[in-house]
């Protein structure tokens, strides 16, 4: 410190800076929070001073106006409908995916024959047939559920197939040589081995169901959230639009997190 | 377990099952429509669809819509590739930044980004810009996250040994970091491309002025079902072709 400045307060700047640095380095979570706050700050400033209020609202107004969104007639019902569509679609996707996955996965011949077809269907951009779903199932919840199911069932199917196929043959052989019948083999060998990949598939299926249902909602809707996003877009009401989008994003995050927790919980038997 | 059957014979049997499946599907479709059990308005027969498909291909009316879809895809994918790789590389330079940003990106990625479509339509209009924005947003995340994973998790031994052998910064990047990260980044690019294509077809279906997705909706709304099926077939074929090209490039880029 040869050139230490004369001012008393600034005499010791480096250790302080270093201390702040060390403090931040030990806490990446705090820096993450700072980044989020910074991004919201940029959004706030951009919306307040640079963008027309007709097109973008600052986050302070959006979040303080969330209760207005919830008070808008029809919105709570719309959120309930969307949640209902998501749950039904998810359950159906699991049921169909598990049934089809076991059918294809448990027999080597079926696997060889139908796996390419499953992969081909999975790779097809289903969004191109969305208008067909609306024609066949109507503009009500049925078309959203059906579209969600077709998005969600393939990940489950593939996960079940992968889980069933990855079992070490030695486990099957030893179970059989100890006199297990088909059901016992399924219940005690195949089923537990399927669980981890099944839950990984469930996470992907949740993403798929969310995508399918929301796509169908945005495409056409009479009472669901798609109706209101269109309404708010066409009436240039970005405050309510952003509020609704945040509510839906929150719903999506909660659902994803639930499935992720379940995955961690039910995959634990392997490590113990 | 029984000894395996002759694998060659087995494969032919599988192929036969696949062919039979396809034939059964098409003949089921044919008889369903020919018998008049299903209204022609809901499901046109394979004959009319094939006729409309050849008509669409012969008249070349698909060209302008295809060009619009491809332009949207190209612009969106370019934006997300450049921004994803640059931002991902900058973040990957410090383990601290990785710790700060990786959970953030993963968190945002958990939101179905299709939700931003109404906002983008409000901000950028019904035309191409809203598709650029949505496609770029959706494909940014897999590209950026894979770039971080690729550059951020290079084996320390490689880096230390290159340094001790006196590699310059450029040499380090060119001969150590890039080859190690490249396969992971290429996978990210492939994932980004697939979701960008889906996002663009999706946003064209939901709100647009032109493009393949728009055309499908247009014929659906005017109840011209055979032509709509023709366009669906065409769009699916284009998507399959693009995805196959990208997958081939991915395998080539990795080796």
Chain B partners of A25 at a C-beta cutoff of 8 Å? 96
Stretch (H or E) spanning A42: helix A28-45
For residues A30 and A109, membership in a common domain is answered with no
- Asked if residue A139 and residue A44 are part of one domain, the reply reads no
Q: Give the position of tokens 């380095």.
A: A25
CATH number of the domain to which A190 belongs: 1.10.3720.10
CB B186 within 8 A of CB B250: yes
- What's the pLDDT score for residue B197? 92
Q: What is the 3-state secondary structure (H, E, C) of chain B?
A: CCCCCCHHHHHHHHHHHHHHHHHHHHHHHHHHHHCCCCCCCCCCCHHHHHHHHHHHHHHCCHHHHHHHHHHHHHHHHHHHHHHHHHHHHHHHCCHHHHHHHHHHHHHHHCCCHHHHHHHHHHHHCCCHHHHHHHHHHHHHHHHHHHHHHHHHCCCHHHHHHHHHCCCCHHHHHHHHHHHHHHHHHHHHHHHHHHHHHHHHHHHHHHCCCCCHHHHHHHHHHCCCHHHHHHHHHHHHHHHHHHHHHHHHHHHHHHC
Classify A236 as helix, strand or coil. Answer: coil
Cβ contacts of B232 on chain A, cutoff 8 Å? 128-129, 132
Q: Give me the residues of B, 29-88, that contact A with CB < 8 A.
A: 42
Residue A131 and residue B216: Cβ atoms within 8 Å?
yes
Interchain contact, A28 vs B243, CB within 8 Å: no
Range of the domain at A27: 11-50
Q: In this structure, are A94 and A36 located in the same domain? A: no
A20 with A71, same domain: the answer is no
Q: What does the domain layout of chain B look like in residue ranges? A: 1-38, 58-254
What's the Cα-to-Cα distance from B170 to each of A175, B94, B174, rounded to whole Å?
58, 17, 6
Which residues are CB-contacts of A255 (< 8 A; sequence separation ≥ 6)?
A86, A206, A210
Contact of A28 with chain B, judged by CB distance below 8 Å, is answered with yes
| Chain A residues closer than 8 Å to B11 by CB | 112
**A145 assigned to some structural domain:** yes
Residue-wise pLDDT tens for chain B (255 aa)?
A: 444 555 556 778 778 888 888 898 888 888 888 887 777 777 888 888 898 899 888 888 888 999 999 999 999 999 999 999 999 999 998 888 888 888 888 888 888 888 889 889 888 888 899 999 999 999 999 999 999 999 888 888 888 888 888 888 888 888 888 888 888 999 999 999 999 999 999 999 888 888 888 989 988 888 888 888 899 999 999 998 998 899 888 888 777
Beta carbons of A211 and B14 less than 8 Å apart: no
At A99, which helix (H) or strand (E)? helix A75-106
Query: Does residue A56 lie within any of the structural domains?
Result: no
Residues A46 and A75 in one domain: no
- Note whether A35 contacts B100, CB cutoff 8 Å: yes
pLDDT at A7 over 60: no
Residue that is written with structure tokens 């081995």 in the block: A193
Domain covering B58-254, topology: MetI-like fold (1.10.3720)
Residue A217 belongs to a domain: yes
CA distance A69 to A238: 11
Q: Which two tokens stand for residue B68?
A: 């619009």
Interface of A with B in 61-100 (CB under 8 A): none
B6 interfaces chain A, CB cutoff of 8 Å: no
Q: Which two tokens stand for residue B11?
A: 């494969």
Residues across chain A: 272
> Residue A268's pLDDT is what?
67
How many angstroms separate the CA atoms of A209 and A215, rounded? Answer: 10
Looking up tokens 């669809």, which residue turns up?
B49
Give domain status of residue A4, yes or no: no
Report the C-alpha gap between A115 and B178 in whole angstroms: 36
**A109 and A192 fall within a common domain:** yes
Flag whether pLDDT at A9 surpasses 70: no
| In a shared domain, residues A114 and A202 | yes
Task: Answer yes or no: do B119 and A245 touch at CB < 8 A.
Answer: yes
Query: Per-residue confidence at A266, pLDDT binned at 50, 70, 90?
Result: confident
Residue B94 contacts residue B148 (beta carbons within 8 Å): no
Q: Per the CB < 8 Å rule, is A123 touching B206? A: no
A vs B: CB pairs below 8 A:
128
Q: What are the backbone angles phi and psi of residue B170, rounded to the nearest 5°?
A: -65, -45
ipTM of the complex in this document: 0.82
Domain total of chain A = 2
| 8 Å CB contact between B38 and B32 | yes
Residues A214 and A137 in one domain: yes
Q: Is residue A53 less than 8 Å (CB to CB) from chain B? A: no
Those of residues 222-261 in A touching chain B at CB distance below 8 A are: 229-230, 232-233, 236, 238, 241-242, 245, 248-249, 252-253, 256-257
pLDDT of res. B2: 46
Whether residue B205 and residue A28 make contact (CB cut-off 8 A), yes or no, is no
* Separation between Cα atoms, residue B135 and residue B199, nearest integer Å: 6
3-class DSSP state for residue A160?
Answer: helix
| C-alpha radius of gyration, chain B, whole number | 24
Judge if A229 and A160 occupy the same domain: yes
Overall size of chain B counted in residues: 255
Minimum-distance CB partner of B110 among A136, A248, A253:
A253
The backbone region for B125, taken as left when phi is positive above 0, alpha when psi lies in -120 to 50, beta otherwise, is left
Find the closest chain B residue to A26 by CA distance: B96
**Is A254 domain-assigned?**
yes
The predicted structure's pLDDT at residue A1: 44
Tens-digit pLDDT profile for residues A191-245: 888 888 888 888 889 989 999 999 998 888 877 888 888 888 888 888 888 888 8
pTM score, whole prediction? 0.83
SS3 assignment, position A176? helix
Q: Are residues A254 and A181 in the same domain?
A: yes
Tokens of A200: 């990984």
Q: Are B183 and B190 in contact (CB under 8 A)?
A: no
Nearest CA in chain B to A248: B115
Q: Which residue has the tokens 């002025």?
A: B209
* Rounded Cα gap, residues A147 and A127, in angstroms: 9
Cα nearest neighbour of A210 on chain B: B112
Q: Are B203 and B131 in contact (CB under 8 A)?
A: yes
Q: Is B95 on the interface with A (CB under 8 A)?
A: no
Q: Please report the sign of the dihedral spanned by the C-alpha atoms of residue A3, residue A8, residue A9, residue A14.
A: positive
Q: Are A211 and A252 in contact (CB under 8 A)?
A: no
């Amino acid at each position: 410190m040869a050139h230490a400045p004369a001012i008393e307060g600034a005499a010791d700047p480096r250790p302080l800076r270093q201390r702040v640095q060390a403090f931040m380095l030990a806490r990446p979570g705090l820096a993450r929070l700072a980044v989020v706050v910074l991004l919201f700050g940029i959004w706030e400033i951009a919306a307040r001073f640079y963008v027309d209020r007709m097109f973008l609202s600052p986050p302070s107004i959006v979040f303080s106006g969330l209760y207005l969104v919830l008070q808008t007639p029809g919105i709570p019902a719309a959120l309930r409908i969307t949640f209902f569509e998501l749950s039904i679609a998810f359950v159906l996707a699991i049921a169909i995916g598990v049934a089809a996955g076991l059918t294809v996965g448990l027999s080597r011949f079926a696997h060889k024959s139908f796996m390419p077809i499953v992969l081909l269907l999975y790779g097809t951009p289903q969004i191109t047939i969305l208008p067909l779903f609306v024609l066949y199932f109507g503009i009500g919840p049925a078309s959203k559920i059906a579209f969600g199911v077709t998005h969600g069932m393939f990940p489950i199917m593939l996960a079940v197939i992968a889980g069933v196929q990855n079992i070490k043959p030695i486990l099957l052989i030893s179970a059989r040589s100890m006199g297990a019948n088909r059901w016992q083999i399924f219940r005690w060998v195949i089923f537990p081995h399927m669980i981890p990949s099944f839950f990984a598939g469930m996470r992907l299926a949740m993403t798929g169901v969310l995508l399918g249902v929301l796509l169908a909602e945005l495409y056409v809707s009479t009472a669901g959230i798609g109706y209101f996003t269109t309404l708010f877009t066409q009436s240039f009401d970005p405050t309510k639009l952003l509020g609704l989008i945040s509510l839906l994003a929150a719903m999506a995050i909660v659902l994803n997190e639930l499935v992720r927790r379940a995955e961690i919980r039910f995959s634990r038997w392997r490590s113990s | 377990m029984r000894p395996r059957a002759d694998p060659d014979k087995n494969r032919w049997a599988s192929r036969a099952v696949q062919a039979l499946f396809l034939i059964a599907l098409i003949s089921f479709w044919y008889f369903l429509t020919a018998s008049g059990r299903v209204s022609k308005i809901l499901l046109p027969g394979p004959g009319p669809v094939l006729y409309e498909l050849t008509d669409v291909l012969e008249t070349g009316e698909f060209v302008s819509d295809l060009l619009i879809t491809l332009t949207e895809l190209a612009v969106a994918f370019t934006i997300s590739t450049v921004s994803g790789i640059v931002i991902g590389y900058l973040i990957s330079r410090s383990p601290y930044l990785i710790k700060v940003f990786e959970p953030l990106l993963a968190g945002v990625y958990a939101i179905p980004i299709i939700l931003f479509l109404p906002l983008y339509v409000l901000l950028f209009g019904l035309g191409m810009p809203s598709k650029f924005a949505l496609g770029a947003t959706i494909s940014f995340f897999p590209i950026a996250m894979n770039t971080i994973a690729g550059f951020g998790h290079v084996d320390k031994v490689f880096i230390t040994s290159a340094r001790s052998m006196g590699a310059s910064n450029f040499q380090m990047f060119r001969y150590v970091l890039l080859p190690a990260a490249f396969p992971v980044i290429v996978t990210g690019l492939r994932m980004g491309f697939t979701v960008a294509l889906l996002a663009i077809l999706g946003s064209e279906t939901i709100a647009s002025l032109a493009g393949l997705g728009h055309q499908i909706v247009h014929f659906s709304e005017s109840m011209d079902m055979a032509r709509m099926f023709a366009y669906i077939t065409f769009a699916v074929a284009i998507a399959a072709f693009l995805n196959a090209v990208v997958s081939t490039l991915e395998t080539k880029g990795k080796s």
